[in-house]
Chain A
Amino acid sequence: MLTKKTGIATLVMIWVGALAVSLLGFYLLNHGIMSMQGLPLNLDLTPAQ
């Protein structure tokens, strides 16, 4: 629960966490969508064919 005492640290953690979750989510989405179409990717998202 955010109160006036909530420090910068907590806010930073929340935002870093949110960004991390989103980045991971979209990274997995990229892999999933491309492999579903028979277009596999390497770990660095370059084409694997």
Chain B
Amino acid sequence: MSISLWVKPLVLPLLLLLLGMTGLAWGVDGAAPQPLRGDYPDIGISSRAVVWVLAQLHLFFGALILAVPLFVLVIEFLGIITGDQRYDDMAREFLKISLVGFTLTAIFGIILTIALFGLYPQLMSYLARVFDGQWLVYLGVFLLENIFLYAYYYSWDRLREGRQKWGHLGLGVMLNLSGVAIMVLANAWVTFMMAPSGITTDGTVVGDIWDVMHGPLWHPMNLHRFIANIAYGGAVVGAYAAFKFLSSRDLAARAHYDWMGYTSNFIAILAFLPLPFAGYWLMAEIYAYSQQMGITAMGGILAWLFIIQAVLIGTILLAGNFYLWSGMSRSEGAVRYQWLIKYIALVLVAGFLVWVTPHTLILTAAERAALGGSHHPVLGPLGIMPAKNIAVNLMLIATFLSFQLYRRADKVVAVPWAAAGNALMTAIYLVAIANIIFVGVYYGYFTNTVYKVGSSVIQVVSTLVVIVSGIIIDSLMFKNAKKLPSHWGQVSNRSQYALFALPVAYTWLMGLMGYVRSSVKTHWHIYGVMKDNSPDNYIPTIGYAGNMITLVTVLFLLGLLFMFWIADRRVKA
């Protein structure tokens, strides 16, 4: 609290000062500047590295503070309609944990802004000109968000009863809306740099601010980041719960934190499931905007990066599933489903191996001669999209099955049509899996490109059918089901490590994706319009990127520890 008090009054004057500085750039002619190498400020270390670290830290904390209020709102709402006080208490606890995150996000944002304007003045003054008054809107929404945050958190007790509780919920809604608005405004800057709109080829602005913001990548980016934030927030809060679980000896406390961890993981995995589809949409729009940019990302120099992405997502899915399987020990009814787990694990591992298989290998001439080409004769076909689409969709279905089994574990179904319902559910799983494989193999390898690409939509929808029908059938089947005893806290210590693996992998993955997003612009600040002539105008190697991503991930972990430590001290205060 004391930190926040003196940070906020600093924000306004600083930002106004910066805006004033950009105002000096106005009045210059319409085209984008084309700075030469010597025009870039030189501070002795890589400017790109500085901005990289600051931007990632800003985004990590930013993602967290956008996500947490969203599920705080949902959980507070659940508390109202169920009347269960535990939900309300947990919602409040989640918010309390993340409070310092708001300050950290703001601090990194301010330093990032200073670094950007200081190290890339021509680019920033051009962007400030193009985005015109949008900066002021951003500033205004930022201030609003702070007001709603304080109001939402500090009025929790006072607005507890009756109609006032709904008013409190309303404050939460406004907090979320302003948070999303901030993200959406900032996303426009980034997507403009990748796929500019509203300007001519030399950078002269010809449209209005809406034309500038509403480029082809804006909404795919908005959707992807919105969903990803939720998954991320769940993962981070789950780590907090896991830590508290492991540190507690008291059975009641362990039960409480086990429940908290489960809820967080539920949010994290549930939000994670649609993410590949949002990412696919983003990638499809990149290809539609510029085949060249798309190929650079997935078929050219950055292609191996997506193999590494497979490693990370494999980690996330394995951790999430492992946590669910471990959690089955909470209920005695889980024993009936134990036999399925090894098959789910098999699907996950096999899918992961397919996903991780590269297509174009980097070989020496001798190796190429031995192999008979640059692709492995047998495994090569596993390296291209049709195989990977099959793998991903099957892994998601397997994960949902883990979910479904966990949810069924503590119930004995009592509806008369149970046999038919189970038969239908099983049939849907089997046919969906067969469909995904058939469609992937046939259209992927035996028809032309147009049908190949179109068939991936069938695969996605098949997966969604499994998920949606699973949710519907189960909710109908659970009517009047007998509940078996389920013990919160009765879970292994080992399972909690899955809740640490999740945010670590997510954070590192976000860093990796940031490297892609920035690199697809290759040697352009603004693709096709403003060349990057700085000393760092090349795509760095994956090894260098790995080091940078590790650096920001470790820094973020330290920031998280600080955040949780402050949250703990509030409890004692």
B-binding residues in A (CB < 8 A) = 1-2, 11, 14-15, 17-19, 21-23, 25-26, 29-30, 33-34, 37, 39, 45, 47, 49
Cβ B431 vs Cβ A14 within 8 A? no
Q: How many Å lie between the Cα of A25 and that of B431 in the bound state?
A: 9
Complex CA distance for A11 and B422, rounded to whole angstroms: 11
CA distance A14 to B441 in the complex (A): 30
Does B461 count as interface, using CB distance less than 8 angstroms? yes
Contact A14 B454 (CB under 8 A): no
Known: A11-B419, A47-B451. A34 touches B458 (CB 8 A): yes
The CA-CA distance from A29 to B337 in the complex, in Å, is 30
Residues on A with beta carbons closer than 8 Å to the beta carbon of B458: 29-30, 33-34
Q: Does B340 contact A (CB under 8 A)?
A: no
How large, as a class, is the contact surface on chain B? 20 to 34
Contact of A37 among B416, B419, B442, B457 (CB under 8 A): B457
List, in ascending order, chain A residues with CB within 8 A of B424's CB.
18, 21-22
CA distance A19 to B457 in the complex (A): 22
Instruction: Name A24's closest neighbour in chain B (CB-CB).
Output: B431
Q: Decide yes or no: A47 and B447 within 8 Å by CB, A11-B419, A30-B435 being known contacts.
A: yes
- The SS class assigned to the A binding surface is helix
A22 and B450 contacting across the interface, CB-CB below 8 Å: no
Which of A1, A21, A33, A45 interacts with B427 by CB under 8 Å?
A21
State which residues 378-399 of B face A: CB under 8 Å: none
Other A-B pairs beyond A33-B454, A34-B455, A49-B450, 4, CB < 8 Å: A18-B427, A26-B465, A34-B451, A47-B447
Q: How far is the CB of A5 from chain B (nearest CB, A)?
A: 14
Give the total number of A-B pairs whose CB atoms are below 8 A apart: 63
- Whether the Cβ atoms of A19 and B461 lie closer than 8 Å is no
Given contacts A19-B430, A34-B454, contact A14 B447 (CB under 8 A): no
Q: Is the CB of B457 within 8 A of A33?
A: yes
Determine if B431 and A23 form an interchain contact, defined as CB atoms under 8 angstroms apart: yes
CB-defined contacts of A26 to chain B, threshold 8 Å: 431-432, 435, 462, 465
Do residues A18 and B423 form an inter-chain contact, with CB atoms below 8 A? yes
Give Cα distance in the complex from A23 to B268, angstroms.
32
Complex: A34 Cα to B451 Cα, angstroms: 8
Given contacts A30-B439, A47-B447, contact A22 B427 (CB under 8 A): yes
For A22, the chain B residues whose CB sits under 8 A away are: 424, 427-428, 430-432
Q: Which residues of A contact B423 (CB under 8 A)?
A: 14-15, 17-18
Cα distance, A11 to B416, chains bound together (Å): 14
Give B439's nearest chain A residue, CB to CB.
Answer: A30
Question: Counting CB contacts under 8 A, is B420 at the interface?
Answer: yes
Residue numbers in A under 8 Å from B418 (CB-CB): 2
Contact of B450 among A23, A33, A39 (CB under 8 A): A39
Q: Is B426 an interface residue (CB 8 A)?
A: yes
User: Could you name 22 residue pairs across A and B whose Cβ atoms are closer than 8 Å?
Assistant: A2-B418, A14-B420, A18-B424, A18-B427, A21-B424, A22-B427, A22-B428, A22-B430, A22-B431, A22-B432, A26-B465, A29-B435, A29-B461, A29-B465, A30-B439, A33-B454, A33-B458, A34-B454, A37-B457, A39-B450, A47-B447, A47-B448
Query: Can you name the residue of chain A whose Cβ is closest to the Cβ of B461?
Result: A33
Most chain B CB within 10 A, of A1, A18, A45, is at: A18
Q: How far is the CA of A33 from the CA of B451 in the complex (A)?
A: 11
> In the complex, how many angstroms separate the beta carbon of B167 from the nearest chain A beta carbon?
44
Contacts of A34 in B (CB 8 A): 451, 454-455, 458
Residue ID in chain B nearest A36 by CB atoms: B457
Query: CB-CB < 8 A to A33: which residues of B?
Result: 454, 457-458, 461
Whether A14 and B462, one on each chain, are in contact in the complex, defined by CB atoms closer than 8 angstroms, is no
Q: Mark B429-468, 1 if CB is under 8 A from A, else 0.
A: 0111001000100100001101100110110011001000
Closest A residue by C-beta to B457? A33
Contacts of B450 in A (CB 8 A): 39, 49
- Sort A-B residue pairs by CB-CB distance and give the 9 closest, nearest first: A18-B427, A18-B423, A22-B431, A22-B427, A18-B424, A1-B416, A39-B454, A37-B454, A19-B427
On chain A, the residues within 8 Å of B428 by CB distance are 22, 25
Q: Are A39 and B431 in touch, CB under 8 angstroms?
A: no
In the complex, A26 Cα to B433 Cα: how many Å? 11
In angstroms, how far is the closest chain A Cβ from the Cβ of B288? 14
Q: Are A18 and B435 in contact (CB under 8 A)?
A: no
Interchain CB contact under 8 A, B426 and A18: yes
How far is the CB of B457 from the nearest CB of chain A, in Å?
5
- Partner of A19 from B420, B431, B462 at Cβ < 8 Å: B431
Q: How far is the CA of A29 from the CA of B428 in the complex (A)?
A: 13
Residues of the A chain whose Cβ atoms lie less than 8 Å from the Cβ of B432: 22, 26
Q: Tell me the complex Cα distance, A2–B424, Å.
A: 16
Question: A49 — which chain B residues lie within 8 A by C-beta?
Answer: 450
Contacts of B420 in A (CB 8 A): 14, 17-18
CA distance A34 to B458 in the complex (A): 8
Task: Kindly provide the distance from the CB of A23 to the nearest chain B CB, expressed in whole angstroms.
Answer: 6
Which parts of B449-496 form the interface with A (CB within 8 Å)?
450-451, 454-455, 457-458, 461-462, 465
**Closest Cβ–Cβ distance, residue B461 to chain A (whole Å):** 6
Distance between B479 CB and nearest chain A CB, rounded to angstroms? 15
* Residues of chain A within 8 A of B447, CB atoms compared: 47
Closest to A29 in B: B461
> In the complex, what residues of B have CB within 8 A of residue A14's CB?
419-420, 423
Residues of chain A within 8 A (CB-CB) of B439 are 30
A17 to B461, CA, bound (A): 22
Q: In the complex, how many angstroms separate the beta carbon of B427 from the nearest chain A beta carbon? A: 4
**Smallest CB-CB separation from B447: which chain A residue?**
A47
- Among residues of A, the one whose C-beta sits closest to the C-beta of B438 is A45
Q: Which of chain B's residues 401-431 have a Cβ closer than 8 Å to chain A?
A: 416, 418-420, 423-424, 426-428, 430-431
